[in-house]
Amino acid sequence: MENCTFGLAALVMMIIVPIIIFSVCVLVLEIIALWFLFEKAGEPGWAAVIPVYNYLIAIKIAGKPWWWILLMLIPIANLVFYIIILNGLSKNFGKDPGFTVGLFFLRFIFLPILGFGKATYSGDKSKFNA
């Protein structure tokens, strides 16, 4: 009976450990890409590491008012506002709405395209009024 339990635990570890390693790698890639994206927009790159502050900076870069962070606390509606923010990011870096769809569904691919690619920031952050 103990061998069966040990075998099951080993199987679970063989599945979970690679998933955790992959998730950490994707997280690091997204943070680095966000760092470069923030710097392209004239914001401090270190803001990508601070959990709530990075959303405030992304909202600012998207050209939306700062209080939209509060709208992100409303369940279900936050998805709509998140998509609008992603669309603002896409537009302000010269991308089309299709890129917004990519940012929503495949963030770990499209965020590095914005951060490391040739896209330049051309937006207006004046609505933020912090």
* pLDDT tens for each residue of 20-39: 999 999 999 999 999 999 99
**How many whole angstroms separate alpha carbon 16 and alpha carbon 9?**
10
**How many whole angstroms separate alpha carbon 88 and alpha carbon 126?**
13
Helix or strand (DSSP H, E) at 29: helix 2-40
Q: Which two tokens stand for residue 114?
A: 């914005």
Give the pLDDT mean for 37-49. Answer: 95
pTM score of the predicted model: 0.85
Q: Which residue has the tokens 């004239």?
A: 42
